[in-house]
Amino acid sequence: MPEDAEHLPGAVGGVTRIGRTVRRPTGPWTPAVHELLTFLDAEGLRGVPALHGVDDEGREVLEHVEGRGVPVDDEVVLDTVLEEAVTWLRDFHDVVEGFRPSGVRTWRGGDAELAADQVVCHNDPGAYNWIIQSGHFVAMIDWDMAGPGRAIDDLAFMAWTAIPLYREIPVEDVARRLDILVDAYGEWGPMTVLEAVVERMSTASDRIEAGQARGDQGFVNLGRVGEPQRTRDRVAAFRARIPAIEAAL
What's the topology of domain 79-248?
A: Transferase(Phosphotransferase); domain 1 (1.10.510)
In this prediction, residue 4 carries a pLDDT of: 66
Cβ 162 vs Cβ 210: under 8 Å: no
DSSP assignment of 102-113 equals -SEEEETTEEEE
Sign of CA dihedral 160, 230, 214, 28: positive
Q: Give the global pTM.
A: 0.94
Cβ 95 vs Cβ 40: under 8 Å: yes
In this prediction, residue 6 carries a pLDDT of: 81
Terminal Cα distance for the chain, rounded? 53
Cβ 1 vs Cβ 7: under 8 Å: no
What is the full per-residue pLDDT of the chain (249 aa) written as tens digits?
555 678 776 545 568 999 999 999 999 999 999 999 999 999 999 999 999 999 999 999 999 999 999 999 999 999 999 999 999 999 999 999 999 999 999 999 999 999 999 999 999 999 999 999 999 999 999 999 999 999 999 999 999 999 999 999 999 999 999 999 999 999 999 999 999 999 999 999 999 999 999 999 989 999 999 999 999 999 999 999 999 999 999
Phi and psi angles of residue 21, each rounded to the nearest 5 degrees, phi first: -125, 160
